[in-house]
């Protein structure tokens, strides 16, 4: 098992939601990695509109993390990092909404209320970084399910390392998403990484999307996604994620 960091790392995390209730969260140190490319502003597109902010109560409320719509039988499912929505100290976070395609105050599809959260018991019991993935269901807006409004990407497991991916997410200090093209690398047999600078608080949960449009990771896992802005991690999407998806959709 990967060691836990001594201080809170990447996300405005669940604790940062609690920052609403407790105290304002602090940003990570944002240290840069040598030779890591830099993320750039993500231009609007229909596929990027499947990615959005998780925030408290309203789209303008305190930011927690990033999430994205994935294909599911009921068309109402998101994937994000588990530490964005639950931890042992706070429990499940209440009052979260998902705002797909958000940028510069514009809310093109509305904000979708979080209804249920599915995490592995090993995360719920011990904040185990090997299980830092969550599936989240959202309610309807205007009688429509979120996948019907913006589409969804399929989850893919067992794809191995060395994949070309694009990673789009919402740093808390910005009002528009950033993106970077990178290649996944092995951090351990069950964790992977990519190197690109700019992924600070708020980007936990950002999906790792292949050229074929499948989600093969989310920022989270080791160090809850990374202690610096230049290297990000994910649980390897394997049978652990397949089992969690089945639980969330049955």
Q: Which tens digit of pLDDT belongs to each residue from 95-149?
A: 999 999 999 999 999 999 999 999 999 999 999 999 999 999 999 999 999 999 9
For residue 10, the model assigns a pLDDT of 53
pTM of the model: 0.88
Q: How many CB atoms sit inside 10 A of residue 35's CB?
A: 8
Does 54 score more than 60 pLDDT?
Answer: yes
User: Comparing 195 with 35, which gets the higher pLDDT?
Assistant: 195
Give the CA count within 13 Å in the CB-facing half-sphere of 201.
21
- Other C-beta atoms closer than 10 Å to the C-beta of 89 total 10
Indicate whether 91 pLDDT > 70. Answer: yes
* Average pLDDT estimate for 24-50: 69
Domains of the chain, start order: 13-22+32-248 (2.40.10.10)
The per-residue pLDDT for 35 is: 67
Q: Assess whether pLDDT exceeds 50 at residue 150.
A: yes
């Amino acid at each position: 098992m990967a060691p836990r960091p001594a201080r809170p790392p990447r996300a405005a995390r669940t604790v940062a939601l609690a920052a609403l209730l407790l105290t304002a969260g602090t940003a990570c140190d944002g240290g840069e990695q040598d030779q890591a490319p830099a993320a750039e502003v993500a231009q609007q597109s229909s596929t990027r509109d499947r990615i959005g902010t998780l925030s408290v109560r309203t789209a303008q409320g305190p930011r927690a993390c990033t999430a994205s719509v994935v294909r599911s039988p009921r068309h109402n499912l998101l994937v994000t990092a588990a530490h964005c929505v639950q931890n042992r100290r706070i429990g499940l976070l209440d009052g979260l909404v998902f705002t797909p395609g958000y940028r510069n105050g514009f809310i093109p599809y509305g904000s979708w209320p979080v209804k249920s959260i599915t995490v592995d018991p090993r995360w719920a019991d011990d904040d185990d970084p090997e299980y830092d993935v969550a599936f989240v269901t959202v309610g309807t807006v205007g009688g429509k399910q979120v996948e019907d409004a913006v589409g969804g990407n399929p989850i893919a497991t067992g794809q191995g390392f060395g994949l070309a991916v694009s990673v789009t997410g919402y740093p808390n200090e910005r009002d528009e998403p950033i993106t970077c093209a990178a290649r996944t690398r092995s951090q351990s047999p069950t964790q992977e990484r990519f190197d690109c600078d700019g992924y600070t608080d708020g980007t936990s949960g950002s999906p790792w999307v292949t050229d074929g449009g499948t989600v093969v990771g989310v920022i989270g896992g080791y160090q809850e996604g990374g202690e610096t802005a230049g290297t990000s991690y994910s649980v390897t999407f394997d049978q652990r994620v397949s089992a969690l998806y089945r639980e969330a959709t049955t």
